[in-house]
């Protein structure tokens, strides 16, 4: 299964709930489109919920980085929510835990944007 | 995908397959090798690591090696060994020099969108080796199995 995304608004924060696999091909392009749609729509505070994502490859990691730079370059913020152990391990291996701000609790994550 | 032979049982047995240079081959190869590793008795965590490493190796071969060429193929061999399994992925591309691959952990490269595939293969497998051949590149990876 490729990634499935649904977007909801919590105050001025756009929460993107992702589920499935973020891998080279459809998975990465779906995420890229969602991030660009949010930013072009003026929604620059984005919380990406990866709680239901069970698999990310290096291309998926690259897409997370691309999303981060796209949002940051537009003056926004992108943060991560609900990373499972495998995704945490990937961020450790790639040293990207130093780049991304990640939360376990959605309410705390939402508050951090203000 | 043209499968040349299947004998997934026993130490020393080999499983070989040939793939087109397409992204669908990556998914096929990953599923097949993970299924083999599961038969060999690897645990769920190792299956995930083997799957990711296999995927990264196949993407490297299809995308960077063969550049999606319909004229080129990817050759995959899995060998069951006493200590675990080895995976050999050979493409027909121009090859690359491992020492020239930018370090994805260097501060200046952290925000690059690509270049982490080899890092993940090295991190998730116990042995990793790249050989430049006269007509392509061969990656060999070994995963040890806890006894």
Q: Binning pLDDT at 50, 70 and 90, where does residue B3 land?
A: very low
Token couple for B40: 């060999």
pLDDT confidence of residue B97:
82
CB contact, 8 Å: A63 with chain B? yes
Facing A96 at nearest CB: one of B23, B26, B110:
B110
Structure tokens at B70: 């319909």
**CB pair distance less than 8 Å for B116 and A99:** no
Tens digit of pLDDT for each residue in B88-138?
999 999 888 888 889 999 999 999 999 999 999 999 999 999 999 999 999
Q: Please tell me what DSSP assigns to residue B71.
A: T
Segment 43-82 of chain B within 8 Å of chain A by CB: 48, 51-52, 55-56, 59, 63
Q: State pLDDT tens for residues A87-112.
A: 999 999 999 999 999 999 999 999 99
For an interface test with B, the pick among A57, A63, A66 (most B C-beta atoms closer than 10 Å) comes out as A57
Q: With contacts defined as CB-CB under 8 Å, which chain B residues touch A67?
A: none
Instruction: Calculate the CA B84 to chain-centre distance.
Output: 15
Residues in chain A where the model's pLDDT stays below 70:
1
Q: Provide the token pair at B124.
A: 């998730």
For the A4-105 domain, the top CATH level (class) is alpha beta
Q: Which CATH class name applies to B2-144?
A: alpha beta
Mean pLDDT of B63-79: 97
């Amino acid at each position: 299964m490729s990634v499935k995304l649904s977007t909801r608004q919590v105050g001025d924060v756009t929460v993107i709930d992702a589920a499935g696999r973020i891998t080279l091909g459809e998975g990465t392009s779906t995420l890229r489109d969602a991030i660009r749609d949010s930013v072009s729509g003026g929604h620059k505070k984005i919380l990406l919920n990866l709680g239901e994502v069970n698999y990310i490859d290096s291309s998926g990691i690259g897409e997370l980085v691309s999303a981060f730079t796209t949002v940051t370059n537009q003056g926004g913020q992108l943060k991560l929510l609900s990373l499972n152990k495998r995704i945490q391990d990937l961020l450790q291996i790639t040293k990207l835990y130093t780049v991304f701000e990640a939360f376990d609790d959605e309410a705390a994550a939402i508050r951090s944007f203000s | 995908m043209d499968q040349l032979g299947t004998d997934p049982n026993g130490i020393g047995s080999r499983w070989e397959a040939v793939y087109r240079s397409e992204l669908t081959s990556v998914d096929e190869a990953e599923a097949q090798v993970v299924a083999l590793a599961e038969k060999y008795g690897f645990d769920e965590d190792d299956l995930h690591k083997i799957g990711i490493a296999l995927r990264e190796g196949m993407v490297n071969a299809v995308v960077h090696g063969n550049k999606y060429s319909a004229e080129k193929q990817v050759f995959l061999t899995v060998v069951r060994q006493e200590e675990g399994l080895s995976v050999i992925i050979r493409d027909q591309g121009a090859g690359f020099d491992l020492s020239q691959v930018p370090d994805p952990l260097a501060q200046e490269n952290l925000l690059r969108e690509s270049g982490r595939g080899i890092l993940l293969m090295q991190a998730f497998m116990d042995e990793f080796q790249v050989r430049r051949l006269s007509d392509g590149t061969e990656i060999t990876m070994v995963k040890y199995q806890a006894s």
